[in-house]
Amino acid sequence: RHPLSMIVNFIGPPCAGKSYVASRYTLEHPSWGYVSIDACRVEQADENKAWGLLERKLRATDLAILESSGLSWRLPGILARQDREILTLCLLAQREVLHERLEKRQFKRKIPYRLRMDEAQAIDWVLQNLDECEYPVAQFIRTDEISKEELYSLVSENKPERRLEISNNEKTENV
């Protein structure tokens, strides 16, 4: 594995801004790969195969932005099998704001099979269950209190590349 290896794990309900930040960040930082459970669902058309593909894509990408609700029973095991730093950022907003964003959403990805709940139900379920997350969350970010630009700046200020450079330099200095 590459010495600079990391996963930034964006979790939260639908319409919280995860896809926006993940796609913009990976466009502006081509060394980072973007792995989304929804994209894997579309590609595989089967839930179990989708999660298998997600794990394979993570293993194949040294620097990865991962996006999901964060609450699948599969995710803790997948993250535990990764041999690298994982930074989890939870994006959320008030229920009403998320539902309003869902109503206005222009691009709705069609999953090729029916999930247990639709996106409106998923908003409520994720908000009710985020405290059940089985791995550490580094930061909770309220996307209803800041603009998209402020959100992007805030997430970018976590500067994953800079953290990795510092970590790598510390390892080198300690040798």
Q: Are 165 and 4 in contact (CB under 8 A)?
A: yes
pTM for this entry? 0.85
**pLDDT of 109-151, one tens digit each?**
677 777 888 899 999 999 999 988 999 999 999 999 999 999 9
111 or 64: which leads in pLDDT: 64
The whole-number pLDDT of residue 169 equals 44
**pLDDT of 7-30, one tens digit each?**
999 999 999 999 999 999 999 999
Alpha-carbon distance of 52 to 143, in angstroms, equals: 30
DSSP 31: T
